[in-house]
Chains A and B, each alone.
Chain A
Amino acid sequence: MPAMVRKLAQRLGMLQHSFVGGVHPNMHKLTADVAIEECDIAPVHVLPMKQHIGEICSPLVAVGDLVLRGQKIARSEGYLSVPVHAPTSGRVVKIEEHTIPHPSGMGLPSIFIESDGDDKSDESIAPISDWINTDPTQLRERARKCGLAGLGGAVFPTFIKLVQDKRFPIETVILNGIECEPYLTNDHRLMLEHAEEILEGMAIIMHMVGADSGIIAVEDNKQNAADSMQQALDARSDMDGVVVHVLPTRYPQGSEKQLIYTLTGREVPAGKLPMHIGVLSQNIGTTKALFDAVMLGKPLTERTVTVSGDALAKPSNLLVRLGTPVRSLFARQGLDDFSGIQIVHGGPMMGERLKNPDFPVVKSSTGLLAMSLQAMKAAHTVEQPCIRCGHCSEACPISLVPNLLADQCRSDQFEKAAQYDLFDCIECGACSYVCPSNIPLVHYFRYGKGQLALQRREDSFAEASRKRSETRDARIEREKAEKAARRSQVRKTHAPKTDEAKAETDAETKTGGEAGVADSKATESKD
């Protein structure tokens, strides 16, 4: 249907709102019917000191310390941060830099814990089963203390969103069960296997933010998950304001802003947060983790990971302790030889491609994909000239004009690109996906954003030092003037001179000054 007709129908209320653009990639949901398996505890776990968006943590333990599962081993520094907990009981064997899942292959300080095999838990955090009569701020502190971060992949500290702000009351809580990335099925499985817990978690969230209505959003390629959630919902009497919405499958429906528009018909204004329009959206896995933190007193030490990919013989959904080496997970699923295999952390549309599987599972690990070179080559071939077909503009879910933006980024016109709303790009990859010329558009946007951020930082630095030097010059001028004023004051009071004499002294100081300048010039030229 033409976009204009659709928009009109939406405005007239004849059609549900729906985000613009998007693509229909082959979903490859190989593991939709594979139940979540609990993974064995690895001999050594590696816990990077930053597994969330925000400030890095600092270790609380030293080499040789014994730790229990759930024990806090790293403290958050600063507000935008959450602590890290030991995934199992054992001994801290070393604290040093280790590779994290990042496309650059960079490392971060990490705590290595050797498992003692007992898996004893730290019981110091008590469950809050009577959450309904508990102050939301206390629950919020629990979410922070338990290290909760968005498990959909963005790992934004969860507690920050779970707040009651009188200026921005939350009306609607959205439970995001879209999981629109190909291959990934862990939220799907969680909804099938843990519907009650997730719903309880949602009830806790609604209590925390004071919302009355809620929407559970699921795509129609997992109707059984929607049914499961509906069934659990029907069994409860206290969640009348919550409905299950089944949406037609389209990527990137699970993107927060797109989903909010589809469900509410409202856009999150640029530079603002969903809370500013009275909406809070939460991922399935995170909601389950909140349930565990509140009802069971369990900090975030494990997560579900979809281990899949076209080069993997036995794809599966695994419940994995954080810090588990990825190599061992692939080995568990029958993959030992990584020659010709490409590793992707996350989904194929937005995930990072990594050089090797020597990194640990972290809070953002939604999926681990082993892709054949062939499958990857389809997306990564030689770039051809843009023929301006406009398919990228059609696919863009936020109505950017990607081909123009890419031109600007490529020719280093970053300010121009910013005027064309480069920073609104959510890097969903829909444009690159449809490009007939295989132009890595998203890559150009990342480059442009990075360069512009750098440029702006340098500009503000230069601006600051310019101001500093100006203030300094002004101060020196002022001091000089004050000194001169003082001096003439002294002269006036102590030795009143005739005008002639005064002119003489002026001439003296002048020549003296000039001589001084000449002197310094001479030294300069000597140097």
Chain B
Amino acid sequence: MSLIMLSSPHAHGGDSIRMIMLTVILALVPAAGMSVYLFGWMAVLLIVTCMLTALMTEAICLKWMGRPVSTLLDNSAALTGLFLALTLPAATPWWMAVLGSVFAIVLGKQLYGGLGYNIFNPALSARVILLISFPLNMTTWIMPMSASMGSIEPVINLYDFTTCATLFFAGPGALQLGLDAISMASPLGYIKTEATLGVPVAEALDAYGYSYLDAFLGFEAGSTGETSALALLIGGIFLLARHSITWHIPFSYIVTVLLLAGLFNALNPDQFATPMFHLFAGGLILCAFFMATDPVSSPVTPLGQVVFGVGCGVITWSIRTWGGYPEGAMFAVLLMNCAVPLIDHYFRPRVYGHKRRNES
């Protein structure tokens, strides 16, 4: 048995890709658990389908490319599948989930050369492909199972396996339902539509039955894993504590959104939603802690990460406020992904003993 490399150092800290990915999966457990609580078997079916498809696709790709299939054990494909599931609406049909997972692995990752070489976050790029291909399905939010939704009663019981399996595999038609019968608007989508009619934000939210507490806990319409700010924050803090991520990206991202929203809300509260609304709405916290911090597609230097986070924040808020889509977090992350090589180049830290960065 000979050693691969004989050059120092001869000691290693023991960190591995596998553990890093596993840590992120563990950090997503609260959010995944919350999604199961809110969306019942729909969430379970979606998560299982996405993760299995991602793993199988990865295995096939590795086999084709002549790489060891044991690479699968690095947990990165499983994580991509889980990520994708959590960004999809709970009513996504099975074939769309499968298609998305295949997109994520093949187009999002392996075509670039596999783990470490992709420019974009694989799960988010697949999510965007699905959104553009199936805009209706990707913006149809089923009502979560919860008592605090007030007057609106869920039409179907999401805790019933048969109902969910039918909905998942055969579509709402098999339940003699239209898609809109079981769906509702997300708060972001609702105020966007109302704003075009000239309704002030506060009034629109009143009409919607919006409450900050519900939004914080997750009792609102949205993608399976993004609704509960609380569950995501628990996971995010776990990641920070385990040193899997640093504070730079989530902090700068969220603070930027809060500052922008606060400034404009102060100028015109009728037209612009409050910072707290933006914080709990849509995929901001999911993206800030989990998507934007994806190591492969984010900058490596601390200052670069802050720049990246600020960029994400500006784009997210701008799309939400002025863009055509109600939610902009995933576009923001993907757009900033493109800028990473540039950011890495221009925001390198000052090297010991040098006055300034080497301009080149």
Question: Which A residues lie at the B interface, using CB under 8 A?
Answer: 2-4, 19-20, 23, 25-26, 103, 182, 257-258, 261, 267-272, 342, 344, 346, 348-353, 371, 373, 375-394, 397-401, 403-404, 416, 419-421, 424, 427, 429, 432-438, 440, 442-443, 446
Contact B17 A23 (CB under 8 A): no
Min Cβ gap B246→A in Å is 8
Q: Give 5 new A-B contacts, CB below 8 A, not counting A257-B352, A373-B3.
A: A2-B247, A3-B302, A378-B12, A389-B20, A404-B300
Selected from B4, B351, B360, the residue in CB contact (under 8 A) with A383 is: B4
Q: Verify A436–B9 contact, CB threshold 8 A.
A: no
B11 touching A390 by the CB < 8 A rule?
Answer: no
Kindly identify which residue among B3, B20, B76, B301 contacts A377, using a CB–CB cutoff of 8 Å: B3
Q: Give A76 to B339 CA distance when docked, in angstroms.
A: 56
Q: How far, in angstroms, from A66 to B240 measured CA to CA in the complex?
A: 68
- State in angstroms the CA–CA spacing of A251 and B74 once bound together: 29
Given contacts A267-B353, A393-B300, A399-B349, contact A388 B10 (CB under 8 A): no
Other-chain contact of A267, B8, B76, B295, B352 (Cβ < 8 Å): B352
What residues of chain A lie closer than 8 Å to B297, measured between beta carbons?
A: 388
Instruction: Decide yes or no: A353 and B6 within 8 Å by CB, A270-B353, A378-B11, A388-B300 being known contacts.
Output: yes
Q: Do A398 and B20 touch (CB < 8 A)?
A: no
Question: What residues on A are CB-neighbors of B11 within 8 Å?
Answer: 25-26, 182, 348-349, 378-379, 429, 433
In this assembly, does B274 line the interface, its C-beta being within 8 Å of a C-beta of chain A? no
Pair B298/A388 contact, Cβ less than 8 Å: yes
Question: Which of A19, A271, A350, A424 meets B9, CB within 8 Å?
Answer: A350
Stretch at the interface among B112-120, B204-212, B261-269, B311-319: B112-120
Chain A residue contacts of B348, Cβ below 8 A: 399, 401, 420
Task: Find out whether the CB atom of A421 lies under 8 angstroms from the CB atom of B354.
Answer: yes
Closest to B117 in A: A385
Q: Is the CB of A446 within 8 A of B7?
A: yes
What is the chain B residue whose CB lies nearest that of A351?
A: B8
Name B353's contact: one of A257, A390, A393, A446 (CB within 8 Å). A257
Q: When chains A and B are docked, how far (Å) is the Cα of A3 from the Cα of B247? A: 11
B185 in the interface (beta carbon within 8 A)? no
Interface size on B, residues (CB 8 A): 46
**B354 close to A442 (CB less than 8 A):** no
* Residue on A nearest B359 in the bound complex, by CB: A419
Asked whether B350 lies within 8 Å of A442 as measured between CB atoms, the reply is: no
CB-CB under 8 A from B116, the residues of chain A are 385-388, 437
Pick from A261, A436, A440, A442: contact of B17, CB under 8 Å: A436
Asked whether B13 is an interface residue with its Cβ less than 8 Å from the other chain, the reply is yes
Give the residues from 7 to 59 in chain B that come closer than 8 angstroms, CB to CB, to chain A: 7-17, 19-20
Establish whether residues A443 and B349, one from each chain, have CB atoms under 8 Å apart when the complex forms: no
What is the CB-to-nearest-CB distance from B62 to chain A, in angstroms, rounded to a whole number?
Answer: 13
Q: How far is the CA of A271 from the CA of B355 in the complex (A)?
A: 12
Contact indicator B349/A393 (Cβ below 8 Å): yes
A261 partner residues in chain B, CB cutoff 8 A: 352
A424 & B352 in contact (Cβ 8 Å cutoff): yes
Task: Name A443's contact: one of B5, B114, B360 (CB within 8 Å).
Answer: B5
Question: What is the CB-to-nearest-CB distance from B24 to chain A, in angstroms, rounded to a whole number?
Answer: 11
Main secondary structure of the interface of B (DSSP, over half): loop
Verify B13–A23 contact, CB threshold 8 A: yes
Q: Is B1 an interface residue (CB 8 A)?
A: yes
Is the CB–CB distance between A389 and B12 below 8 Å?
no
Query: A419-B358, A436-B16 are contacts. A379–B10 as well, Cβ < 8 Å?
Result: yes
Task: Evaluate contact between B344 and A379: CB separation under 8 angstroms.
Answer: no
A375 cross-chain contacts in B, Cβ below 8 A: 10
* Residues in B whose Cβ lies below 8 Å from that of A271: 353
Closest approach, in angstroms, between the C-beta of B27 and any C-beta of chain A? Answer: 15
- Chain A hits for B19, CB < 8 A: 436
A380 and B5 within 8 A (CB): yes
Listed by A's residue number, 29 A-B pairs whose Cβ atoms lie within 8 Å are A23-B13, A25-B11, A257-B353, A267-B353, A269-B354, A342-B10, A348-B9, A349-B10, A376-B3, A377-B3, A378-B11, A379-B10, A379-B11, A385-B115, A387-B17, A387-B76, A388-B300, A393-B349, A394-B302, A398-B351, A416-B360, A420-B348, A429-B8, A433-B9, A433-B11, A436-B17, A437-B17, A438-B16, A440-B5
Contact (Cβ within 8 A) A401 B344: yes
Name the contact of A436 in the complex, choosing from B20, B246, B354 (C-beta under 8 A).
B20
Known: A377-B3, A387-B20, A436-B17. A398 touches B9 (CB 8 A): no
Measured between C-beta atoms, what is the minimum distance from B316 to chain A in Å? 22
Closest 9 pairs between A and B when the two form their complex, measured CB to CB = A429-B9, A385-B116, A398-B352, A443-B7, A390-B300, A270-B353, A399-B349, A379-B12, A419-B360
Q: How far apart are the CA atoms of A433 and B13 in the complex, in Å?
A: 5
A314 to B247, CA, bound (A): 46
* Contact in complex: B300, A353 (CB < 8 Å): no
Any chain A CB within 8 A of the CB of B131?
Answer: no
A4 CA to B358 CA, complexed, in Å = 21
Closest to A349 in B: B9
The residue of chain B having its C-beta at the shortest distance from the C-beta of A354 within the complex is B6
Closest to B353 in A: A270
Nearest CB on A from B119, distance (A): 11
CB closest residue in chain A, given B9: A429
- B17 touching A270, Cβ below 8 Å: no
Residues of A within 8 A of B1 (CB): 373
Question: With A261-B352, A267-B352, A437-B17 as given contacts, are A352 and B8 in contact (CB-CB < 8 Å)?
Answer: yes
Tell me whether A270 and B354 are in contact (CB under 8 A).
yes
Contacts of B4 in A (CB 8 A): 380-383
List residues 264-321 of chain B with CB under 8 A from any CB of chain A.
295-302, 305
Asked if B9 and A379 sit within 8 Å, CB to CB, the answer is yes
Q: Contact check, B352 vs A434: say whether CB atoms are below 8 A apart.
A: no
Most A-side CB within 10 Å, residue of B1, B3, B13: B13
